[in-house]
Amino acid sequence: MTIKPIIDKKELQKYQEDESSAFHGTATELILPRNEQELTELLKSATATGTLVTVSGGGTGITGSRCPIHGGQVVSTENIRTPQTNCPDGYDVVSEQGYTVYLNRDAKQAIAPGSIALSILDGLLAPEQLLYPPDPTEMSATLGGTVATNASGARSFYYGPTRKWITSLRVVLPTGDILPLNAGASPSKNQQLTVPVGDQTVTLTIPDSQTYPMPTIKNVAGLYLKDGMDLMDLFIGSEGLLGCITDVGIKLTDRIQHTLTTVAWFDDLEQALAFVDSGVSHNSPLKFLSLELFDSHSLKFMQQKYPDIPDAGAGVLFELEYDQNDDNTIYPSSVFLDRIARELRTYESTSNWVIPYSNREDIRLFRHTLPEVVNEYMRSRSGKLGTDMAVPHDRLSEMIDAYISVSQTENVPYVMFGHIGEDHVHLNYLPDDEAASKRAKKAYAKLAATAVKLGGTVSAEHGVGKKQILNESGSMIPYLEIMFGQTGLKVIAGIKHQLDPALILNVGNMVPKEVLEQVKYEKEAG
């Protein structure tokens, strides 16, 4: 079955970039397979001819993962709109906007095509009062894309990242072989992980923690590799290096009915952090869904859209789930709500906004305000540079001190905000000119090295894609090298070579093309 490629440059253009606009692809053709069989034939042919293939998701990423910078073909599964497996017993077939999903209401599980956008999936689940919890900022992201990046968002503080909610995957390997995966079905043993590839078995060696030091905190940098892992874990967060996802089995939960969202203002950042660090945030019987920080620089930007924001030293947004009784009283009881009020007084919160669930659209708009005004500010400047680091909780204060001191030393404007409940704070540098941009890159490198030194990660939610960074000598190196070194990059390259012997799929993600080719040469020569 021949798939007619699209070569029109205008059609191709939107697949050559992602939301960052920092990476530009050079693919010469776009292919839109209509089913798994066409995708299988495409990848078999590409492996046989050595044609590079970049799989494109929804384009919402900011690390260049979907950008075909080395040319070749770009492939999107957007026309594969139904699961490629048969509907299991106990599941019903439901549809939304041309997409088909298998739904088991009693078990609170579903099987969906990887191409479905999270917004469409949510629209399908809403009438059932069910929820797929992972909530990256962009709901136009595809389900398969979020699995490939192990995406998370504001509410991952409560729900956890994507990995926690995946029950099965169906993956087409670069060789064209189909790999059905179920959670917990294929654990590694004695640091060996077996992968059935067609009528053969590939054995992968899981490196020890000295060779490949995976942090235990929120992390999406590099392949998931640790002894005792499940085979399915290898593909979640693999950034398209190892296969193309067609079907995703997911767990669901009951939909949230009522929330209270509070934005508390503090005179200084230290008091805000002390509030977050209190028992309210980390040991509370309350169901906090999210905990978000905004520093004073962030608030000044946000005042453009919300002039009622006070001139505070910091703000903390937190969401609380509650139940409403027949008499309109709310649960948790006032005892717990009183506890929050006491904690806010203890840490000298100056005032707060309380936003009920009925105004949930206002919450979404408030959260989106900062990136919108920052992007508008940077349109005529050198381009923002955003960090994605996280550290263990007991090292958070050191990391924040480093954010501030390094930024002041390098004299680069910034805003600091993000998922403080998970010890994951973003720093966006806002350089005014090329000289400031160079200083920002230098600061970024220092902070990445600091995060690793503190036992943290260089990427907690966005992945690394094709990002590079300055090292101490001023040379550009793969971003992941700061965390794993050349040894770790070669571990990833070696695993890719075993599952993608022709090195055709999503080349450049995590590991540069030249490192992949070097490892391939060494393995085939030795």
Contact 399, 391 (CB under 8 A): yes
All residues at 6 or more sequence positions from 432 whose CB lies less than 8 Å from its CB, including other chains: 381, 382, 413
Least confident of 11-20, 103-112, 308-317: 11-20
Average pLDDT, the chain: 91
Q: What is the mean pLDDT of residues 299-304?
A: 95
Chain mean position to CA 340? 31
Tokens in use for 374?
A: 């920052």
Hey, what domains does the chain have and what are their CATH numbers?
A: 92-254 (3.30.465.10), 259-368 (3.30.70.2190), 385-463 (3.30.70.2740)
Run of H or E residues at 396: helix 396-410
Run of H or E residues at 335: helix 334-346
Report pLDDT for 283.
58
How far is it between the farthest Cα atoms of the chain? 76
Run of H or E residues at 104: strand 99-104
Report pLDDT for 27.
96
Q: Which DSSP string do the residues of 80-103 spell out, in sequence order?
A: --S-SSPPPTT-EEEEETTEEEEE
Q: What is the mean pLDDT of residues 215-239?
A: 95
pLDDT of residue 332 exceeding 70, the answer is: no
Read off the pLDDT of residues 393-439 as tens digits, 9 standing for 90 and up.
999 999 999 999 999 999 999 999 999 989 999 999 999 999 999 99
Contact 253, 133 (CB under 8 A): yes
Report pLDDT for 97.
95
**Confidence grade of residue 269 (pLDDT, cut at 50, 70, 90):** very high
pLDDT of residue 526 exceeding 90, the answer is: no
* Phi, psi of 246, rounded to the nearest 5 degrees: -105, -40
Read off the pLDDT of residues 111-145 as tens digits, 9 standing for 90 and up.
999 999 999 999 999 999 999 999 887 888 999 99
Q: What is the mean pLDDT of residues 18-45?
A: 94
Instruction: Could you list the beta-strand ranges (E) of 244-384.
Output: 244-251, 253-254, 259-266, 288-295, 314-321, 323-324, 330-331, 349-356
Contact 282, 271 (CB under 8 A): no
Tokens in use for 472?
A: 């101490």
Q: Which residue has the higher pLDDT, 69 or 357?
A: 69
Q: Give the rounded percent of residues in the chain with a pLDDT score beyond 70.
A: 95
Least confident of 81-85, 117-121, 346-350, 496-500: 346-350
Contact 53, 71 (CB under 8 A): no
Nearest residue to 229 (alpha-carbon basis) of 247, 243, 212: 212
Residues of the chain by 3-state class (helix, strand, coil), percent to 5: 35, 25, 40
All residues at 6 or more sequence positions from 46 whose CB lies less than 8 Å from its CB, including other chains: 52, 53, 72, 73, 174, 502, 504
- Tell me the C-alpha distance between 382 and 434, whole Å: 6
Contact 171, 245 (CB under 8 A): yes
Tokens in use for 434?
A: 């090329």
Q: What is the mean pLDDT of residues 328-350?
A: 73
Contact 94, 124 (CB under 8 A): yes
Q: Which amino acid is located at 324 in the chain? A: Q
Q: Give the rounded percent of residues in the chain with a pLDDT score beyond 90.
A: 74
**Which parts of 102-230 fold into alpha helices (H)?**
118-125, 143-149, 156-159
- Tell me the C-alpha distance between 126 and 103, whole Å: 13
pLDDT of residue 329 exceeding 60, the answer is: no
Report pLDDT for 287.
64
Nearest residue to 117 (alpha-carbon basis) of 133, 102, 148, 96: 96
Read off the pLDDT of residues 141-196 as tens digits, 9 standing for 90 and up.
999 999 999 999 888 888 999 999 999 999 999 999 999 999 999 999 999 999 99
Residues shown for the chain: 526
